[in-house]
Amino acid sequence: MDIPYVIGVDMGGTNTALGIVDARGNILYRSQVSTTDYSTGEEYAEALGNVINELIEQNNLEGKIKGIGMGVPNGNMNDGTVEKAANIPWAKTIVVPLAAMITQKTGLPCSLTNDANAAALGEMAYGSAKGMKDFMVITLGTGLGSGIVSGGQLIVGHDGFAGELGHTTTVRHNGRLCGCGRTGCLETYASATGVARSAREFLDLNPEKKSVLRDITYRNITSKDVFEAAKAGDELAGEIFNFTGKILGEALCDFITFSSPQAIILFGGLAHAGDFLLKPLREAIDHHILNVFKGKTKILVSQLNDAEAAILGASALAWE
Amino acid sequence: MDIPYVIGVDMGGTNTALGIVDARGNILYRSQVSTTDYSTGEEYAEALGNVINELIEQNNLEGKIKGIGMGVPNGNMNDGTVEKAANIPWAKTIVVPLAAMITQKTGLPCSLTNDANAAALGEMAYGSAKGMKDFMVITLGTGLGSGIVSGGQLIVGHDGFAGELGHTTTVRHNGRLCGCGRTGCLETYASATGVARSAREFLDLNPEKKSVLRDITYRNITSKDVFEAAKAGDELAGEIFNFTGKILGEALCDFITFSSPQAIILFGGLAHAGDFLLKPLREAIDHHILNVFKGKTKILVSQLNDAEAAILGASALAWE
């Protein structure tokens, strides 16, 4: 008999959310535990392992769980470790063999990877990429993450850290300074933070243009403000999305030359900007794509529920 | 018993060279046939099939050939076709199911892909990538080709045409006009043609600088001239290689963020420029790479013999 359920664990910077998931992507039972209330990886693994074991017992699912998948900052799928994750106190400077520790506590196989890779596996198991073997997910949140599937396999690279497309830098030579210390990284343009940054830049550079964004405290402008303004017909806000879509579209053209995906699935807050982002993005691709790839790659927006996607994505690892 | 030999076929723009290859990468017997003397794919397949059958018979190798691999312009590995290859008269505007035709003539399994993908498989079977699962080959010839292996699999994409890294365009926004009709393609800088173009640009932009390159008829300058000049200590020629290495290095940083390869293997004429190219290239990578990838990816020069590599690469397909 097939084992019917898996467990997905989404380890965030503050809390760790988990759920028991069926093969159709329904989250049946949920629980959570703090990510940061522990001073060592052992303590965290002990706490998380206990919560997992309780969740299984309470619901009489002993023997019905195929495995555990985790979405983890700086998670290395090749060896199941968390490597120097800046925002996790117990893994800030060291490598923690978290998957092995969870297996020891629960007796279940455990795999982990970063959240964008998990998102890609989630789309393949339950979402828009069902049945696809070549696609990528671009997550547009605070930064820009990427999960790339080629020939049905997640691209993780020799060290487990492939797919950092937010830090391709050539989209603008000598462009904006990035948190990584370099310049021109794609995520300084194409992310929620990037849109807010563009807004401030556009306001500065176009003092003659009216915009409702001028009524917001300058340093507090968010991508959501820009979206609301664009919806209300604010011209400058529209231009900011045009600029963002164009840069992202040009970058996607480069990504397509790499792995020629059947689809690129956009996920995260900014993906919900709809045609404000998608129209200039698709136009940039049509205009800029190498002839052999013209019209071949679909640009889709994830249909997974934002609140569930992280657990679902992580759980998809356990079906692999 | 293992079948000990394969056949590699290198279909060039004028001639098609082929050879019988053993598991260690020795080319034991060779033959050739014209590529262009035929008006249909059927006629070409008939001629090539006959030459293959003769080569096998003459050397009493019936039953000892595992299969045929072909390196073919616009070769699609997914379905074994040649798709609209501009320089092949019988495939200029149509899709020719060449692999199936060769199988029909010879009774042997046949696969094909483009030359850069074949080069990657050749490095994995016989060359510097032996034992590697994550690497890429960059071919620096007239243009820039790429073959990418991830998790032990060649990345071919949903349509069979992935890995066109010579046509990533963001390395210089609004840069040089490329033969593909777009601007800023990497191969307009990092290729033999690109170096010659840089030479003319550097001569134009630095009229005060002496250079032996000024003694060569301007439009006839080749990358080999620039290499010879650099070897002789010509300062401007050295600067041209610095410029080329820097641009290629920055582009490789983006490629590394994609698939995090253990090694990038440079192949082709320009790769033999040695430290004139490699030193600025490695410096650009060290300076420009995202921290998590620092010092992880080896930059190697192919050790395969240029004259044999195309047949070897193609033959490697037949072991797969």
Instruction: Encode pLDDT of A68-88 as tens digits.
Output: 999 999 999 999 999 988 889
Domains of chain B: 5-124+308-319 (3.30.420.40), 132-302 (3.30.420.40)
Q: Which residues of B touch A254 (CB under 8 A)?
A: 168-170, 254
Q: Using 50, 70 and 90 to split pLDDT, how confident is the model at A27?
A: very high
Residue type, A102: I
Tokens 């050879």 — which residue? Answer: B19
B312: phi then psi, degrees, rounded to nearest 5:
-60, -45
pLDDT (mean) for B41-67: 97
pLDDT tops 60 at residue B255: yes
Q: How far is B261 from chain A (nearest CA, A)?
A: 6
As given in the structure block, the two tokens for residue A293 are 């790839």
The answer to whether the beta carbons of residues B146 and B164 sit under 8 Å apart is: yes
Residue B174: the pLDDT is 81
All residues at 6 or more sequence positions from B91 whose CB lies less than 8 Å from its CB, including other chains: B41, B74, B82, B83, B84, B85, B98
A37-68 burial string, b = 16+ CB within 10 Å, else e?
A: ebeebeebbbbbbebbeebbeeeebeeebbbb
pLDDT tops 80 at residue A172: no
Q: How far is B63 from chain A (nearest CA, A)?
A: 32
For B158, the closest of A167, A260, A290 (CB atoms) is A260
Residue A149: the pLDDT is 98
Instruction: Encode pLDDT of B84-100 as tens digits.
Output: 888 899 999 999 999 99
Residue A260: the pLDDT is 97
pLDDT (mean) for B173-200: 93
Tokens 């990427």 — which residue? Answer: A146
Query: What DSSP element (H or E) covers B145?
Result: strand B144-150
pLDDT (mean) for B170-192: 90
Residue B311: the pLDDT is 95
For B165, the closest of A133, A258, A291 (CB atoms) is A258
Q: Which residues of A touch B165 (CB under 8 A)?
A: 257-258
Task: Answer whether A260 sits within 8 Å of B172, measured CB to CB.
Answer: no
- Best B165, B170, B172, B252 member to test A by mutation, with max A CBs in 10 Å, is B170
All residues at 6 or more sequence positions from A164 whose CB lies less than 8 Å from its CB, including other chains: A146, B257, B290, B292, B293
pLDDT (mean) for B170-196: 91
- Best B74, B93, B114, B155 member to test A by mutation, with max A CBs in 10 Å, is B155
Q: Measure the CA–CA gap between A7 and B66, rounded to whole angstroms.
A: 45
Residue B283: the pLDDT is 98
pLDDT tops 90 at residue B130: yes
- Best A79, A154, A167 member to test B by mutation, with max B CBs in 10 Å, is A167
For B161, the closest of A173, A253, A260 (CB atoms) is A260
Q: Which residues of B touch A160 (CB under 8 A)?
A: 260
Residue B1: the pLDDT is 54
pLDDT (mean) for B72-78: 93
Task: Answer whether B291 sits within 8 Å of A169, measured CB to CB.
Answer: no
Q: Measure the CA–CA gap between A35 and A70, rounded to whole angstroms.
A: 13
What share of chain A has pLDDT > 90, as a percent?
Answer: 91
- Best A260, A289, A294, A298 member to test B by mutation, with max B CBs in 10 Å, is A260
What share of chain A has pLDDT > 70, as a percent?
Answer: 99
For B162, the closest of A253, A254, A260 (CB atoms) is A260
Torsion angle of C-alpha atoms B23, B24, B26, B32, degrees rounded to 10: 40
Task: Answer whether B168 sits within 8 Å of A257, measured CB to CB.
Answer: yes
Residue A1: the pLDDT is 53
pLDDT tops 80 at residue A227: yes
Task: Answer whether A156 sits within 8 Å of B151, measured CB to CB.
Answer: yes
Interface ipTM above 0.85? yes
* Other CB atoms within 10 A of residue A138 CB: 30
pLDDT (mean) for A5-31: 96
Residue A85: the pLDDT is 86
Residue B271: the pLDDT is 94
For residue A112, give the DSSP letter: E
For residue A125, give the DSSP letter: H
Task: Answer whether A155 sits within 8 Å of B156, measured CB to CB.
Answer: no
Residue B87: the pLDDT is 84
The answer to whether the beta carbons of residues B98 and B47 sit under 8 Å apart is: no
All residues at 6 or more sequence positions from B29 whose CB lies less than 8 Å from its CB, including other chains: B19, B20, B55, B58, B59
Q: How far is A203 from chain B (nearest CA, A)?
A: 24
Task: Please tell me which residue of chain B has the smallest CA distance to A154.
Answer: B151
pLDDT (mean) for B236-265: 97
Task: Please tell me which residue of chain A has the smallest CA distance to B295.
Answer: A159
DSSP, collapsed to helix, strand or coil, labels residue A87 as coil
Report the mean per-residue pLDDT for chain B: 95
Q: How far is B149 from chain A (nearest CA, A)?
A: 9
Task: Please tell me which residue of chain B has the smallest CA distance to A84.
Answer: B292
Task: Please tell me which residue of chain A has the smallest CA distance to B74.
Answer: A292
| Lowest pLDDT segment from A165-174, B29-38, B143-152, B244-253 | A165-174
pLDDT tops 60 at residue B32: yes
Task: Answer whether B173 sits within 8 Å of A173, measured CB to CB.
Answer: yes
pLDDT (mean) for A139-155: 95
pLDDT tops 90 at residue B307: no
Task: Answer whether A259 sits within 8 Å of B162, measured CB to CB.
Answer: yes
**Of B273 and B13, the one with more pLDDT:** B273
Determine the Cα angle at A193 with ends B170 and A120, to 5°: 70
Query: What DSSP element (H or E) covers B301?
Result: strand B298-301
Q: How far is A264 from chain B (nearest CA, A)?
A: 12
* Other CB atoms within 10 A of residue B2 CB: 5
Task: Please tell me which residue of chain A has the smallest CA distance to B161.
Answer: A260
Residue type, B110: C
Task: Please tell me which residue of chain A has the smallest CA distance to B289.
Answer: A182
Q: How far is B62 from chain A (nearest CA, A)?
A: 34
All residues at 6 or more sequence positions from A236 whose CB lies less than 8 Å from its CB, including other chains: A202, A203, A206, A209, A210, A211, A213, A229
Q: How far is A73 from chain B (nearest CA, A)?
A: 13
Instruction: Encode pLDDT of B189-232 as tens digits.
Output: 999 999 999 999 999 999 999 999 999 999 999 999 999 999 99
Q: Kindly list the distances between the CA atom of residue A206 and the CA atoms of A141, A239, A293, B260, in Å, as whole numbers in the listed order.
A: 26, 11, 37, 40
Instruction: Encode pLDDT of A244-288 as tens digits.
Output: 999 999 999 999 999 999 999 999 989 999 999 999 999 999 999
Tokens 């060896």 — which residue? Answer: A79
Q: How far is A52 from chain B (nearest CA, A)?
A: 31
Region at B152 (left for phi over 0; alpha for psi -120 to 50; beta for the rest): left
CB burial of residue B46 (10 Å; 0-12, 13-18, 19+): middle
For residue A130, give the DSSP letter: T
DSSP, collapsed to helix, strand or coil, labels residue A173 as coil
Residue B201: the pLDDT is 96
pLDDT (mean) for A159-169: 94
DSSP, collapsed to helix, strand or coil, labels residue B12 as coil
Q: How far is B152 from chain A (nearest CA, A)?
A: 10
Instruction: Encode pLDDT of A302-318 as tens digits.
Output: 999 888 999 999 999 99
Task: Answer whether B180 sits within 8 Å of A290, measured CB to CB.
Answer: yes
